Structure 1
């Protein structure tokens, strides 16, 4: 673990999250298997909590209700940024928060709009995270090639693990 403060980590994480449209949310199934699903990243500033809108009748929500430990991963290979957040899922009913997060994009999943009784707010209370930052694909490829030629460990950018 590094010297990165919580505030510094949240700022770095916010920079990664804002550029990723879809995250992968991993739950544990009743059989004990890990199952990852794409979730739409909310268009709001990351402040330490992750929010998603899901459906009450899905396996993912059932998994979180029974086993709330989850992981959410973000990837932007073009920018060379990656983030893995572990935490606890909380299933909430909060009309004000739904109003804040809602966009017409969700009508494809919830035809009745915000009034759809199947809507489930999912809040991920982060416990810890690991992030990777590099200068992007070209620099990373150059560093890997240089490492192979010289037989040295390539400089792939910044990697840090933080407790939140």
Structure 2
């Protein structure tokens, strides 16, 4: 692990995830099983917090309320970018933040719009992340092939773990 400042880590993770529209939010259910849920990434700058909207009546929201440790995964295979963020979820009531992240896209899930009583604002306070970043598909394949032919570890890009 390279020593980076919190600001450098936030900037790097933010840059990697900024254009990823969907993420997988993994929670732990009442039996200790991990369950992943696709979530829409909010168009807000990453400052260590990740925001989602969910339904108060959903299993995933209940699970986060009872067991707040979660993981959020982002993937851009076309760019060779993979990010895993760990943190604690909290269920937030904040009208100003809701208005900031709201879009009419959510009417498909919340028919009453922004005033739907089932809307739950979810904040993930990230405490760490790991990312993988490669130089692209062709270079990654060449690195993999070299590794297989030489018996040496394939160099396929950058892998870093950061504390946030």
TM-score calculated relative to the size of structure 2: 0.97
Aligned to 1:138: 138
Q: Quote the residue 1:40 is aligned against.
A: 40
CA deviations over 1:97-125 (Å, ceiling 9, x no partner): 00000011111101110000000000001
CA contact (8 A) 2:9 2:163 kept: no
Partner of 1:61: 61
Give, in whole Å, the separation in 2 of the partners of 1:65 and 1:6: 27
Q: How many residues align?
A: 164
CA distance in 2, matches of 1:120, 1:9: 28
TM normalised by structure 1 equals 0.97
1:24 maps to 24
For 1:81 and 1:22, locate their aligned partners in 2 and report how far apart those are by CA, in whole Å.
Answer: 14
Measured in 2, the distance between the counterparts of 1:11 and 1:153 equals 29
Is there any run of 5+ residues in structure 1 with no aligned partner, and where? Answer: none
Partner of residue 111, structure 2: 111
2:95 matches 1:95: yes
Distance in 2, Cα, partners of 1:135 & 1:103: 34
Structure 1 Cα separation of the partners of residues 86 and 9 of structure 2 = 14
Q: What is the deviation of 1:4? A: 2.0
Q: Which contiguous aligned blocks of 4+ residues in structure 1 show a shift greater than 2 angstroms? A: none
Q: Deviations over 1:62-89 (max 9, x none)?
A: 0001000101011111111111111100
> Are 2:146 and 1:154 aligned?
no
Cα deviation code 1:108-162 (max 9, x no counterpart): 1011100000000000011111111111212111110111112211111111111
- Aligned residues of 2:68 and 2:90 also touching (Cα < 8 A): yes
Deviations 1:17-46 (A, max 9, x none): 112111000000001100000000011221
**Aligned mates of 1:141, 1:6 — CA distance in 2:** 33
